[in-house]
Amino acid sequence: MTETARSTSTDVARRAGVSRATVSYVLNGRSDQSIPEPTRRRVLDAANELGYVPHAASRALRAGRSRLVLLIDADVPWSTNITDAEDALTAVVAATGRSLVVWRRHGPGDLAATLANLEPCVAITLQPLDVADVSLLAGLHIPLVTADLGTPGADSATRVQLEHLAGHGHRRLGYLTTSEPSLQQFAGPRTAGFLAAAAGHGLAAPVVVALQGASAPDVRDVASVLSDWTSRPDPVTAVACFNDLHAAACLAAAASLGLTVPDDLAVIGLDDDDFAPFTSPALTTVRLQPQGLAHHLWALATHLLDEGPEPDPFAPPGRLVERASVHRPPTAPTERKP
């Protein structure tokens, strides 16, 4: 196999015996141009035989917009839900002929450099950017789609947490969350949603504690919180957590205090991470369904791009995954997945 050059639309035109314009009309399937079937076929065959693929950069230059969609990920710890959301978004975007690529920001100054290399694209972010970044995008005329998860009621998953605990008779609740700045975008609405749901069920306001720690809290810190909560006059009997990692820390802390889960203390997580079946006891948690979020985000994007209709506000629904950390299951705490 010799060193062959990339074939261009000029090569296709020459091989099909037509002009380059005709090639463009055929391959872009324009209906306002009359192209007889034999010619159309000649062009298509030539393109196939040459393995012609339009040059992305050239096309982006001409169109003023590339077919890339940049997902700007914050530098936060991963969870199943984030990768699920990414996968769903990848599929949705691919269905429109575009491609989603993910960029994890590394420092504050990197965004400008990255955009300079991607430029005529579309950007999506799962958490709000600060003012400087937004004006950066505006200066380059890059449309930005933001998942506004901060709207009231946006986090219905915490309602699922609360309803499960309340349904099992727990009246005095604790909420364990994080004080990590980069996670506040998620932590804020979740805490608010949990408190609102508790109020809606006529429960006393849950006690909330936010612990530091870049990805996970320290077990000793959690133990001291639990020790405090369970030794009150009206002891906390159930703890809902910001995510599964916090819940796992909570289980470890309970064990170190000699508390039995779920009898002395119920614990519920959020995310359904891969390790959730393997904690002791196996973690009851709530799984988000990010496929809907992906469709919502892309609807927002098309609204910005092609003037599609503005989509309704959207709250990703949560699905309860019942294991053994809120109440004892009828059988052994091991599980068999489908």
Partner DNA sequence: GCTCCTTACTTACACGTGACACTAACAAGC
Partner DNA sequence: GCTTGTTAGTGTCACGTGTAAGTAAGGAGC
Question: Residues in contact with a second copy, total (CB under 8 A)?
Answer: 75
Q: Which of residues 38-57 bind a second copy (CB under 8 A)?
A: 51, 53-57
Partner whose binding site includes residue 302, from DNA, a second copy, none (CB under 5 to 8 Å by kind) = none
Residue number, 35 or 208, with CB nearest to DNA: 35
CB of 196 or CB of 257, closer to a second copy: 257
**Beta-carbon count within 10 A of 98 CB:** 18
CA distance 30 to 24: 9
Long-range contacts of 21-25 (CB under 8 A, 24+ apart): 23/47
Q: How far is the CB of 34 from a second copy (least distance, A)?
A: 28
Q: How far is the CB of 291 from a second copy (least distance, A)?
A: 13
Distances (CA, A) of 243 to 51, 155, 264, 307, 314: 48, 13, 21, 37, 21
Q: Hey, which residues between 34 and 93 contact DNA (CB under 7 A)? A: 34-36, 39, 52, 54-55, 58-59, 61-64
Encoded one letter per residue, x for contact with a second copy by CB under 8 A and - for no contact, window 252-291 reads xx-xx----------------xxx-xxxx-x---------
Does 213 participate in binding a second copy (rule CB under 8 A)?
Answer: yes
The closest of 223, 162, 214, 219 to 193, measured between CA atoms, is: 162
Choices 31-39, 111-119, 163-171, 174-182 (CB under 8 A): range interacting with a second copy:
111-119
Q: Does 8 help bind DNA (rule: CB under 7 A)?
A: yes
Q: How far apart are the first and last CA of the chain?
A: 48
Q: Contacts by 253-260 with C-beta closer than 8 Å and gap 24+? A: 253/219, 253/220, 253/222, 253/223, 253/225, 253/226, 254/226, 255/280, 256/219, 256/223, 257/223, 257/226, 257/227, 257/230, 259/226, 259/230
- For DNA, how many residues bind (rule: CB under 7 A)? 28
Inter-residue contact 104 to 75 (CB < 8 Å): yes
Judged by CB under 8 A, which stretch of 19-27, 90-98, 167-175, 180-188 contacts a second copy? Answer: 90-98
Provide the binding-site residues for DNA, judged by CB under 7 A.
Answer: 6, 8-10, 18-22, 24-25, 27-28, 30, 33-36, 39, 52, 54-55, 58-59, 61-64
